[in-house]
Amino acid sequence: MKRISAVLAAPAAMAILLVPATALAAPATTALPCSASMSNSRPADYTTTDVLVRTAAHAAVTTVARYKTVNREHTGKANAKGQATIYYYISGATPGYKVNVSVRVTLGSRSGNCSTSFIPHR
């Protein structure tokens, strides 16, 4: 009887040893909320348009506008309500070319991504 219980216990002990290390790791952190829009999605040349970002309070905000010939990075910080406004001056942008704006928000070890776009005109 002792031998039977020892044989039945052996597979259970082996199963405990075969648990992947990832199953024992701490759970992954959730992404930081991120939402972005433009104050004017069709800005004229030599005007300003703003990237309006909503995220967590006091999060760092980085935007990159990808124009036809150059990328422009701007940074800012969300206020206590989680809102940030990042200004872009439109100067000589290719009319009709869709400018994609990527947004990255970070707070401590958490981060999030979102995007928006605008199309400049003369």
| Segments making up each domain of the chain, as ranges | 35-118
Residue 53 has pLDDT above 70, yes or no: yes
Q: What is the pLDDT of residue 19?
A: 52
- The secondary structure of residue 57, as a DSSP letter, is T
Tokens of 69: 């010939």
pTM of the model: 0.77
Edge-to-edge strand list for the sheet holding 35-38: 35-38, 47-54, 83-90
Q: Which of 9-13, 26-30, 40-44, 102-106 has the lowest mean pLDDT?
A: 9-13
Give the residue from 79, 87, 82, 76 showing the smallest Cα distance to 38: 87
CATH code at 35-118: 2.60.40.10
